[in-house]
Amino acid sequence: MLKLALTFLVIGVVLAVLGFGGIGGAFIGIAKILFFIALALFVLFLVLGLIAGKKVKDAID
């Protein structure tokens, strides 16, 4: 998802440089949304992984 956000960001910057500010701004907005979704999913999976790892460790002991 970060790769997709980076792609949208680059396309948005190129469009803005070429003079298509409205479309470029929309692409940059989409990139921002995708970045925050990816960040939230990363934190969620990190917490779930730590919880699952702790349960496995407790089951072994």
Mean pLDDT, range 23-51, rounded to an integer: 96
5: pLDDT strictly greater than 70: yes
Distances from the Cα of 5 to the Cαs of 18, 39, 50, 58, 59, in angstroms?
20, 11, 26, 38, 39
Long-range contacts of 32-36 (CB under 8 A, 24+ apart): 32/5, 34/1, 34/2, 34/4, 34/5, 34/8, 35/2, 35/5
Task: Note the pLDDT of residue 61.
Answer: 65
Task: Note the pLDDT of residue 23.
Answer: 95
- Higher-scoring residue by pLDDT: 23, 54: 23
Instruction: Please tell me the distance from the alpha carbon of residue 41 to that of residue 29, in angstroms, as a whole number.
Output: 19
